[in-house]
Each structure stands twice: as C-alpha cells, then as structure tokens.
Chain A
Amino acid sequence: DAKTTQPTSMDCAEGRAANLPCNHSTISGNEYVYWYRQIHSQGPQYIIHGLKNNETNEMASLIITEDRKSSTLILPHATLRDTAVYYCIVRVDGTGGFKTIFGAGTRLFVKA
C-alpha cells in the first residue's frame, strides 16, 4: 500500500499558486519524498524530491514540515498545462530491491 495520503482533487486559478498537500505520517528517517505528475495519456514525469530541507527547482518548490510527516508541492504560477494527476511518494534512496508504490494522487484542475 502507498504510504502517503493526498486529496482526491483540487482546483486552481490560472496564474495563481497551486499548493498540493501530502500526508506521510509514517515516513522513516531515511525515506525521501518524491513528487511526480501525469498529464493525460502520458507517462509520469518527475517534478522534485527532498529529504528534510525545502527544495526548489525550475518546476516547483517542495516544503517539508519539520517533523517530516507532511509536505506541500507548490507550483508558483499554475498554467492550464499543469492540469494533471500529482503523485506524492516516499521511498528510500540508494538501496536495492525496492519498488515505488504510487497512490491515487491528486487530480489538479487549473482553470482559466
């Protein structure tokens, strides 16, 4: 089973920030938080990942709470093309024999 819980769906106005929450209350100390998204009819696309510090790249920012039990993916200026299903995943990096378990994700609708 997935180790994360996310809202089923969210709406966001175009040009506004989209804040997607994820709960991972059972995360272990050596597990990273990864975010992927899947635009309709395409394979999932990596967005960002982090361990305990906040991270930012050209696509998004990742805010991880101090206790690491939850995180928020922020798309600073959402566009219509950001409409997709967003998956939050926790997993251990650098070890063998693991598999990434994807939950149901959050369906983000960006509206004009």
Chain B
Amino acid sequence: GAGVSQSPSNKVTEKGKDVELRCDPISGHTALYWYRQSLGQGLEFLIYFQGNSAPDKSGLPSDRFSAERTGGSVSTLTIQRTQQEDSAVYLCASSLGPGQGQEYFGPGTRLTVT
C-alpha cells in the first residue's frame, strides 16, 4: 500500500522567505511526527501529533516554526523568515498510534536556504 509521502522533495528558497512542507501519512495512522536532519547529523525531533490531542511542540527550535494537521490526516510544517541554518532534510513519519509499533518515514524534503 501507499507509504508516507512528502512534498516537495526538494525546495530552494531565499533567506527571509516563508516555506511550507507537506506530509501525507499512511491512511489510518493517528500519530504523525516531524523530524529534521542536518547534513551528517542524526534526527532531531520537532513536533508530534496524536489524533485530536494538542500536539507536542517541544522540539520546535523557534517561533518561526509551526505545524498543523488538518482533519487528522495531512500535515503542513511552516517555516517563516527562513534562515540558512534551517537548511536540512525535513522528515515526516506516521504510526498507528502513540508508540504503537514502528514509525514509517517518508522520503523527506530537502530544504536549502540561500
């Protein structure tokens, strides 16, 4: 079946511009996660959604970052006034529920801020 999809696969933007990254989780998965991976680094947790509960935003690095999940499905990660240090691969993952089994990761969106 279909896995987690993300769009765009690559995004180049100028410093100071806003960007939106999209994640389509696996159908029926109630948990959705965003991670960031800078070049050569491990995964950095950003935000976690579970059903209709308030999201865990504890990993968001600054107030320029926000995310929403509409209808318990698609999620959008928004970065306002992008900075060069925001350049990274942004990964989305989903799972059946909070901690239920493994997370399925999407291919990621490679963001480059020039």
Write the residues of chain A forming the contact surface with B, with a CB cutoff of 8 angstroms.
2, 34, 36, 42-46, 49, 87, 91-105
One digit per residue, 1 when the CB lies within 8 angstroms of any chain A CB and 0 when it does not, for chain B 39-82 equals 00111110010100100101100000000000000000000000
**When the two chains form the complex, which single residue of B42, B50, B56, B104 contacts A102, counting CB atoms closer than 8 Å?**
B42
One digit per residue, 1 when the CB lies within 8 angstroms of any chain A CB and 0 when it does not, for chain B 92-108 equals 01000111111111111
**Whole-angstrom distance between the alpha carbons of A84 and B107 in the complex?**
15
**Whole-angstrom distance between the alpha carbons of A34 and B93 in the complex?**
15
Chain A contacts for B104, CB-based, 8 A: 46
Chain B contacts for A101, CB-based, 8 A: 45
**When the two chains form the complex, which single residue of B4, B44, B100 contacts A94, counting CB atoms closer than 8 Å?**
B100
Is B91 located at the chain interface by the 8 A CB criterion? Answer: yes
10 A–B contacts, CB within 8 A, in A order: A36-B102, A43-B108, A44-B91, A46-B102, A46-B104, A87-B42, A87-B43, A99-B33, A99-B45, A105-B42
Q: Closest residue of chain A to B46, judged by CB?
A: A99
Do B45 and A100 touch (CB < 8 A)? yes
Do A99 and B108 touch (CB < 8 A)? no
**When the two chains form the complex, which single residue of B44, B56, B59, B105 contacts A43, counting CB atoms closer than 8 Å?**
B105
Do A99 and B106 touch (CB < 8 A)? no
Given A43-B108, A44-B91, A104 and B50 contact (CB-CB distance below 8 Å): no
Interface centre among A44, A46, A102 (most CB of B within 10 A): A44
Nearest CB in chain A: distance from B11 CB, A: 16
Do A99 and B91 touch (CB < 8 A)? no
